[in-house]
Structure 1
Amino acid sequence: MKVLGISPLDKDSTVSVVEDGNVLFAAGEERFSRTKQQSGFPRLALQKALEYTGLSMEDFDMVCYPFLTWENEQKLYTRNLEEERQFIRSFQPGDLSRQVKEAMTRVPDRNEPIHGLEHPNATMEKGFLHSSYYSMAGVQKLASNNAALKGSRQWGELATESFQHWQQDLEQGLRDVGWEQPVKRMDHHLSHAANSFYCSGFDEALCVTLDGYGTGLAGSVSEARDGRIHRLHGLPFPNSLGTMYEHVTSSLGFKPSRHEGKIVGLASYGDPSILADVLLSRIDQTPGDFRIYESNNVYFSRYLASKFPKIDVAAAYQYVLEKVATDYIRYWVEKTGMDTVVLSGGVTANVKLNQRIFEIEGVRRIFVYPNMGDGGCGTGAALYHSWPGGAKPSIANAYFGPDYGESEMAAALAAEELDYRRPDNLAAEVAALIHDGKVVARFDGRMEYGPRALGNRSILYHAREPEVNQWLNQRLGRTEFMPFAPVTLWEERERCYHNIEGAEHAAEFMTITFDCTEFMKQNCPAAVHVDGTARPQLVRREVNPGYYDILKEYQKLSGIPSLINTSFNMHEEPIVNSPHDAVRAFLQGTLDYLAIGPFLVKHPNPTH
């Protein structure tokens, strides 16, 4: 069965072509439009998908979309928001004024500089009017209740408008390409559970999904066996850990739904104990469930961000995310007796959270779907409806996008009048350049699917120099608090990372952190975070021989089996797709060398 899956259109719209449970093609519209997290009907991605697979719309048995109709979605969240009103009225939070005063006494003096912050104890300084409003709407019970309920009411109104708009856009887009049949709609969180389970390779698993909103829910737990997925529990929206983390991302001055990773990095510098009890007092945890008080009141996190150091606010939210999520999942692990967990949903982009989930007693194996956000839901829907039954091996890689021929690469280089050559041993030359301190961008093979660069659209550098996190980010126009991620030879994984057994497959996609060994800390400091963890990509030769060979040749020169791998893109742009994109980003980023297909190019105007 051939199924076309289209992800939600409100952001990061993505096309997936799946046949009998096998992904033939998957790519986000952003890679073709060059607008990050592109919304709307994915016309360009669909055109490339049909061109690449040789299919036409008439060849598909079904088109799937991972949301219900706008009317049915509206019924669900309208009911949920009424239940939230009752919960807010009945819940008794802690004495916030007293809690905040006590928390202020726990803030230490700090002088150790943190790159990207003007001062280690920097707060979100706001004017008098803003601060006064945050103090009222975020703290005073009557005002904060009203702010939360107003936030939920506005969310519902915008959601209705959004669902109506994107439903029309989807239907019109499909008509434009000749699809006149009904769209197969499905539960959003089931699509998340499906992509994580059907790509994991496990015969049975506990499927956990956590995100902002999807078909009335903000999370779910399901039991998957024999190719079937049975839901055990749903977390009703707006009790959303995704919304909670979006709020703190916004309150600390970053873009929600895009920069949550910066909060993860920032959190490692702070002390979670300063504000953890304040946050936890607003969450009603019961075995296998929880409710979040005033979930849609963004002024609460803005109030904390205006009073406390950014690093401590970030640390508290990260800690509470980890605690609430692991408490929730631990209950279901114990109840079901299942030792294998698979994860999907935007919240599971949080690599530190995923490490904590793997550390739950009783969890032996873990897998995180590589495109865990809504961009991956179209694939999940298509997998679910095309699944032929029976066992299936895990996905070996996420190289589901297009590739390009040598003639197209040569044309892109010629258009910029760049000199290039074809080395006899490209891997050895690239490794030598990296060993010598050069920054090399790599463009080869099929484009990665999902938010992480996995070697085919990557920038490579050695990990011996911690300062690279500052100067290379500056060169690329980025502001980051986490170090670059390492790529590591598969066979050297236990030399570099502790407690990796059972999570090796997840680590092939950069979806989880591990505590680093002393060897890794000493030899790859640029890839190790302040808390001693790293987010690796393990690479096997049978998965990506060209990428693997560079790393192996580098190990021959240095004795180190890891390199820095960061995404090949300029600031606020998507990862490069075509040879033209690669050449443009190479020149703009003033990178030293470009390894594009079989060709090696030196930058015509090196900066050092």
Structure 2
Amino acid sequence: MTQKLILGLNAAYHESSAALWGKGRILAAAEEERFNRIRHGKPTRVNTAGELPLRAIRACLRRAGVSAADVDVIVYAFHPRLRRRVHPRPEDRGHNLETNNYGTPEGERRMARGCLSAPELLGRHIHPAWRSRTRFLPHHLAHGASGVLAMPTEAERRAFLTVDGIGEIESARWGEWNGRLRTRSRLIYPHSLGFLWERITQYLGYRPLYDEAKIMALAAYGDPDRYQAVFSRFASTTSESPLRLDNQWLRFRETSPDGMVALFGRPILSRKPNSDKEEHHQRDLAATLQSFTNDAVRNMGQHLRMHTKANHLGLAGGVALNCVAMYALASTGLFESLWVQPATNDAGTALGAALWWAVHREGARPWQMEHPYLGPEIDNEATLTELSRNNARVVWSRPFEPPKKAAEELAAGKVIGWVRGPMEFGPRALGNRSLLAHPGLPGIRDRINRIKGREWFRPLAVSVMDEAADRWFDIPESARMATRNMNLAVPGRALAREKTPKAPHVDGSCRIQTVAGENPGFRRLLREFQGLTELPLVINTSFNLGQPMVANAKDAIDTFLRMKDVFSLYLGDYRIERHP
């Protein structure tokens, strides 16, 4: 087992992050957005590649109790020289590319310079020795390592599948681990599911890289057959050729979606929160996109299973956040077990880079990621300082049994904040940075969407006690591990539809987190709530309002004070209410 300290970094595009390996495991992992309060850590532009996750790095060092000088290797999850060898692309010739942007000679040079500046910047801002200790690793290799080398299984042979927008040139890669990570196949630009989602998200009037989850939610209201014939003009999928896209229509590197307008016409947009007037044109195109994605992901899985014969699959990449497509893949029964790494977006490449180096260069064994609680803890002293600072606005106490008191308030119909313990690594709130509510209340979906300022069609997620989950939801046997991290939308059974009618989405599905012993405080709350209501589940969404999930006491209190319909906040050992 390696005794070296290895730091993985992600900074090339977005979701900037850091993860620290040592003593045979990941000691800490965190995303920069939680500290700088900027969604995804920074904008995705060629001139931001040199902006490093310095706060996340320092948070990892503090959690592990080590100094920067102790770190032996820094592995940056992107290979800029590999990128420069394959860009600009012939598929973009003749397109109206914006000067100094992705895909142009000057833009690609600028991005490469930003990435290559990482050793010098780390040496300047963290520790001088890091200048010579920094290495580069291909983006999708880091994604693949995060999915397969952190999989919580004893199986020696396992497959991996990574799907996102783009790394250096790849948009997807699949292969297997059998003592060594081996790539079987890959997709290269412009054949990219991630870019397809970005383009259609933009066409529908939403923000690419930010609002794809909204399109997935909207899809449940639409007719997936309406645009299939038009879709077939630029997109196809089979088991032998899982994804082919015609970039003459999609024109991914252009800033305007004019190709989409030529295919589908100009959309009629009405995107006001809490309005149900979203046009059928938008709903149906979203539904067609989701249906195509389900087919493409299933075909990738079939292709992978045929060529590897592996029974266990680990997934990573931004497309794996699509909980509907993950259910479609799990439902095929192609694999005995399926696991989606909790930070499956680009943040997870930091974890994968550290793992790849530890396993392949230092001879470590793969690590089993039993939970995602790898970030900073809520500090009670810092909490007390912030409470004193807000003395005129809040009152607080230290309840003897916070889970019991919180469950009583939930049972009484209150919406509460639950911010305790170490922060989750990844975009899902999994019981430590959560907004919680009673799932059986009439109108609870509209109430939560109002609190969060979300669109009318956004569904809710739930956390459910592991042993009760099968009575409430139809979970594929292969997806047991994936439900731990809220990465599948599964059908609700009759009990869920009867007792919690507003928890499932309009199509009857629900994104769920099954809670076992990995989070004892949150599980205790669920058990207390069940004792009061006979419901072994609660509504669980992220504790944030227009910003990233909260990281510390200051962020939590500030957010609580802006959430007018949230009754109380459980912050570390404290319970907080607004001043009467």
TM-superposed deviation, 1:151? 7.9
Instruction: Output aligned runs, 1:269-308, within 5 Å.
Output: 269-285=221-237, 287-294=240-247, 295-297=250-252, 298-303=257-262, 304=264, 306=266
Report the more deviating stretch, 191-200 or 180-189.
180-189
> 1:522 and 2:476 equivalent?
no
> 1:545 aligns to what?
520
Give the alignment partner of residue 483 of structure 1, picking from 428, 453, 459: 459
Structure 1 counterpart SS, 2:86:
helix
1:41-92 deviation line (CA, Å, top 9, x unaligned): 11222222222222122211210011113x32121244xx22x37xxxxxxx
Distance 1:391 1:305 in 2: 53
> 1:73 aligns to what?
83
Instruction: Output aligned runs, 1:194-593, within 5 Å.
Output: 194-202=145-153, 203=155, 204-226=157-179, 228-285=180-237, 287-294=240-247, 295-297=250-252, 298-303=257-262, 304=264, 306=266, 309-387=281-359, 389=363, 392=366, 394-417=368-391, 418-465=394-441, 467-479=443-455, 481-540=457-516, 542-571=517-546, 573-590=547-564, 591-593=566-568
> 1:49 and 2:8 equivalent?
no
Distance 2:99 2:467 in 1: 50
Report the more deviating stretch, 335-344 or 294-303.
294-303
TM-superposed deviation, 1:212? 0.7
> 2:73 aligns to what?
62
TM-superposed deviation, 1:10? 2.7
TM-superposed deviation, 1:184? 1.4
Q: 1:411 and 1:23, CA in 2 relative to 1: closer, same or farther beyond 3 A?
A: same
TM-superposed deviation, 1:480? 5.7
Distance 1:405 1:290 in 2: 48
TM-superposed deviation, 1:497? 1.3
Structure 1 counterpart SS, 2:122:
helix
Q: Taking every aligned residue pair, what percent have the same amino acid on both sides?
A: 27
Distance 1:73 1:476 in 2: 39
> 1:38 and 2:12 equivalent?
no
TM-superposed deviation, 1:289? 4.2
TM-superposed deviation, 1:586? 0.7
Distance 1:44 1:336 in 2: 40
Query: Superposition RMSD on alpha carbons, in Å?
Result: 2.1
Q: Which amino acid aligns with 1:299?
A: D
> 1:107 aligns to what?
none
Q: Which amino acid aligns with 2:59?
A: K
Report the more deviating stretch, 1-10 or 432-441.
1-10
Distance 1:424 1:410 in 2: 17
Distance 2:231 2:124 in 1: 48
Give the alignment partner of residue 162 of structure 1, picking from 111, 115, 126: 111
TM-superposed deviation, 1:150? 4.8
Distance 2:181 2:498 in 1: 44
Distance 2:296 2:573 in 1: 49
Kept in 2, the 8 Å contact 1:409–1:579? The answer is yes
Distance 1:284 1:536 in 2: 31
Distance 1:61 1:427 in 2: 41
Q: Which amino acid aligns with 2:434?
A: S
Q: How many residues align?
A: 538
Distance 2:158 2:98 in 1: 36
Give the alignment partner of residue 596 of structure 1, picking from 553, 571, 577: 571
Q: 1:305 and 1:64, CA in 2 relative to 1: closer, same or farther beyond 3 A?
A: farther
**Structure having the larger proportion of residues in helix:** 1
Q: 1:6 and 1:180, CA in 2 relative to 1: closer, same or farther beyond 3 A?
A: same
Kept in 1, the 8 Å contact 2:465–2:514? The answer is yes
Q: 1:588 and 1:150, CA in 2 relative to 1: closer, same or farther beyond 3 A?
A: closer
Kept in 2, the 8 Å contact 1:5–1:16? The answer is yes
Note the residue ranges of structure 2 that are not aligned, 5 or more in a row: 43-50, 268-279
> 2:6 aligns to what?
3
Structure 2 counterpart SS, 1:514:
strand
Kept in 2, the 8 Å contact 1:271–1:311? The answer is yes
Note the residue ranges of structure 1 that are not aligned, 5 or more in a row: 86-144
Report the more deviating stretch, 260-269 or 378-387.
378-387
> 1:186 and 2:197 equivalent?
no
List structure 1 runs of 4+ shifted beyond 3 angstroms: 149-155, 388-393
Distance 2:146 2:87 in 1: 24
Kept in 2, the 8 Å contact 1:305–1:313? The answer is no
Q: Which amino acid aligns with 1:37?
A: H
Normalising by structure 2, we get a TM-score of 0.88
Q: Which amino acid aligns with 1:435?
A: A
